Structure 1
Amino acid sequence: MTNTTTLPQVLHFTDPGLREQIEAMPEGTALIGISTTGRAIAVDLNAESPHILVCTATGGGSTTVLRSLTAQFLHQGAHALVLDVKRISHLWAKALPTVTHRGNIAGIHDALLGLADELKRRNQLPDHDLADIPRLIVAIDFAGGTLHQLTRYWETFRQHDDPQTSPAVTALEEALWTGRSARVHVLLDGNPRTSILGAAHELFATVILARFTADTWRRLAPIASPAPKSSKQPGSAHIVQNGTSHPAQLLLMTDAEAAEWLTATAAKED
C-alpha cells in the first residue's frame, strides 16, 4: 500500500490487492486496519498480543472487527468459539465446520465450561503435541451483557456449596490468564469492568477503541495518554499496541464476504 497522510475513507476486504495481502500474512497474524501513514496495523498472536479487546460505542464497528479478525484466523486453520448473545450478530459463522456458535445464555454457559476442560487438556500436552492442535479463537460479542447474563443465570440454580462466581465467568478468566500457553485467544467486544473480570481485563495487549469517551480511554489505554479526539467516521478507530496509539481505518468485511471466503477456503482444502 502506498503511504498517505490521511485515513482511507473506507477499507473494504474487496479493495484491489487487499485480500491477497491478507492471505499472505503468517499464521497467527491478522490485519486490523491501515494507519494514517499507510502502514498496515496487524496483531500477532504469537508475540505480544494473545488477546484483543474491542471497545466502541453503538455503531462503532465492534462486531465487524470481531468478524474480520476471527475470519482471518479461521482462514489460517484456527477453530473458533463464537459467543453471540444477540443471536444475529455472527450468523456468518453458524454453518462453518470449524466454528461452534452459541447464542442463548444456557448454551454460552455450557460452552465456556467446555472451554475450561479444553484449556486443562491443552495445558497438559507436551509442546510438540500442542503445536499440531488448531489455534482456538474465543470471540465474545457484547461481552458486558453476556457476562451479566451469565452471572444471573448461575444465580438461578447455584447451590449453597457452589462457588459464588459463575464457573463460566471463571473459565473466561482462566482463558485470559493461561490462553497463550494453550493456543487459546480471546477477542472480546465490550468495556470490561473489574467487578466481573477482576484484573484479567489488563491482559489485552491490543486494544481497539472507537467512538470512545475520555474516561474509557483513561481506563483501557492509560499508557497511551492523553486521549485523542474520537471520530464518528465509519471504520475510524485507534489501535493501541505497546503503549502507542495508531489512528487507523479498520478492515470492513461483511457477513457474506466472510462466509463466502471461508467456504471457498474449506472447499480448496477438501
Structure 2
Amino acid sequence: MKKTALLTMLSFADPDLRQQIEALPEGTALIGISTTGKAIAVDLDSESPHVLVCTASGGGSTMLRSLTAQFLHQGAHALVLDPKRISHLWAKGLPTVTHRSNIAGIHDALVHLATELERRLDLDGNLDTVPRLIVAVDEANATLRRLARYWETFRQKDDPKTSPAIAALEEALWVGRAARVHVIFDGRPQSTVLGGAARELFATVILARFTADTWQVLAPAAGPAPKQRHPQRGHFHVIQHGEVDETQAIRMTDADVVTWLTDPDDPTA
C-alpha cells in the first residue's frame, strides 16, 4: 500500500476522530493513523494483553494518557503510577482512577495489586461483572529502581530479596490476561528487574526516538531498525505481529480527558 506523509498532528478535538474512537469495541483503543491511512489500534483481549511504550522524548506520558483514557471511557478502572507527580494530573479526582506519585504510595498500591490479582483469579474466569483494570506505569525504569531501593530500607532478614511491589507488577504481566488486568509500561524492561522473558508478553510495542540496540532488543522480529527521520511530535513506530507501522498518535490534552470522562456528552471534549 502506498505510503504518504504523516499528519503533523492528530487531535482528539476533531469530531470525526472522536466518533471513530467511541465506536471501537470494548477492550480496543486507537493508537493513531499510519502512513498508509490505516487506523492502528490495540486489542487487549484477543491480541495484546499489555502494551510497551519506549521513547526518549517524554512521549510515553502522552501515549499512556491517551490509551488509559480510552479504556476508562469504556468502563475500565485504572491505577496510574506517576513518579514525576505532574505527568498525569488528569488522573487526580476521577472516581475510577487510583493515582499514586510518591514512592511509598506506589509501593503500597502495587502490593495491593497482588491481592487484587489473587481475588480475580479465584473467580476462575467469572469476570463479567469485574471491571477491566489498567495499570499505567510512567517512567517505569526509574520507578522500579526506586522501588527496589525503597524495599531495601526496611526489608527484614527473612523477607524476600525482591520488592513485593516489583513482584506484583511482574505477576500482573504473566497472569493479567486471565484476570482482566493490563499493564501499559513506559520504559524498557530490564532482565535484572522484571526478568528477560517479561518483554515477550508485550504483543504491542510502541517506539519513538530509539537506538538500533533498543530496536533489536524490543522488536527483533520486525527486522532491522528503520531509519528515523527528523523527529516529529507524536510520531511513533508501532510493532504488532512482527509488522511495523509508522504512526501519528492521537493527541489528548489533560482537559480533553477530564471533560470526556466526566461529561462524555460534551461535544467540545
Same fold (TM over 0.5): yes
Per-residue deviation, 1:193: 0.9
For the 8 Å contact 2:189–2:198, the answer to whether it is kept is no
Are 2:123 and 1:91 aligned? no
Deviation at 1:192, TM superposition (A): 1.4
Q: Report the equivalent of 2:215.
A: 217
Mark the runs of 5 or more structure 1 residues left unpaired by the alignment: none
Report deviation, 1:265. Answer: 3.1
Q: Deviation at 1:58? A: 2.2
The counterpart of 1:106, out of the listed 104, 107, 113, is: 104
Pair 1:162 & 2:167 matched:
no
- Which secondary structure does the structure 2 equivalent of 1:122 belong to? helix
Q: Secondary structure at the match of 1:196?
A: coil
1:200-251 CA-to-partner distances (Å, cap 9, x unmatched) read: 1221110000011101000000000110012411111100001111111111
After TM superposition, the structure 1 = structure 2 runs for residues 13-162 of structure 1, keeping only pairs within 5 Å, are 13-59=12-58, 61-127=59-125, 129-162=126-159
The root-mean-square deviation of aligned C-alpha atoms, in Å, is 1.3
- Cα deviation code 1:62-118 (max 9, x no counterpart): 100000000000000000000001111000011100000000000000000000000
- TM-superposed CA distance for 1:9, in Å, is 1.1
**Partner-residue secondary structure (3-state), 1:259:** helix
Q: Quote the Cα distance in structure 2 between the aligned partners of 1:125 and 1:265.
A: 32
Aligned to 1:185: 182
Q: Which amino acid aligns with 1:200?
A: A
1:153-189, Cα deviation, whole Å (9 max, x unpaired): 0000000110000010000000000000000000010
Unaligned runs of 5+ in 2: none
Q: Provide the secondary structure at the position in 1 that maps to 2:246.
A: strand
Structure 1 runs of 4+ with >4 Å offset:
none
Taking the aligned partners of 2:191 and 2:199, their CA distance within structure 1 comes to 7
Other-structure match for 1:234: 233
Partner in structure 1 of residue 8 of structure 2: 9
- The one of 191, 194, 199 aligned to 1:194: 191
- Structure-2 separation of matches of 1:150 and 1:134: 27
Partners of 2:155 and 2:8 in 1: how far apart?
Answer: 50
Letter in 2 for 1:157: F
